[in-house]
Amino acid sequence: MTDLRARWEAGDDVTAVLVVAFADEERRFIARFDPETGLLPCPAALPYKGTEAEAMILWIEEGAEWGEVGGNLIRTRGEVTWVDDGTPWAVFEVEYVVLGVDVEEYIRGWGL
């Protein structure tokens, strides 16, 4: 984590909550780990669905694919679905990973 405003909170033996700053509030992402593999098969969150939304709607990341990068097993693909839609609205695929770098310096190198 590169933002000191983000933190993990304990849940139970297989659940943790990632708390991140968002504007003037905090958002929570639920992480339930597979007790046999230790992998994170289905992260979930409760964000607002759009800037005009009055209520938060659960979204779940599914369709996970895993691969080895730099000796580490990581999620290489996932699909995010709003539960009220039932079909993925976003698909994320890892193209490359950079490990062990100073994130701020790395981002400056991109001109961001």
pLDDT tens digits, one per residue of 53-93: 888 888 888 878 888 887 888 889 989 999 998 889 899 99
**Whose structure tokens read 């993990």?**
8
* 65 neighbors 77 (Cβ within 8 angstroms): yes
Averaging pLDDT over each range in 42-46, 72-76, 79-83, 106-110, which range is the top one?
79-83
Q: What is the pLDDT of residue 98?
A: 78
Q: What is the dihedral of CA 94, 95, 99, 104, to 10 degrees?
A: -90
- Mean pLDDT, rounded, for 89-107: 83
94 within some domain: yes
H-type helices in the chain, by residue range?
A: 103-109
2 within some domain: no
78 within some domain: yes
Our count of domains for the chain comes to: 1
Domain range for residue 68?
A: 7-109
Q: Give the pairing of strands 15-22 and 7-10.
A: antiparallel
Helix (H, G, I), strand (E, B), or coil: what is residue 44? strand
Q: How far apart are CA 69 and CA 96, in angstroms?
A: 8
The b-or-e profile of 21-37 (16+ CB within 10 A means b, else e) is eeeeeebebbbebeeee
112, amino acid identity: L
The answer, as to whether pTM is greater than 0.85, is: no
1 within some domain: no
60 within some domain: yes
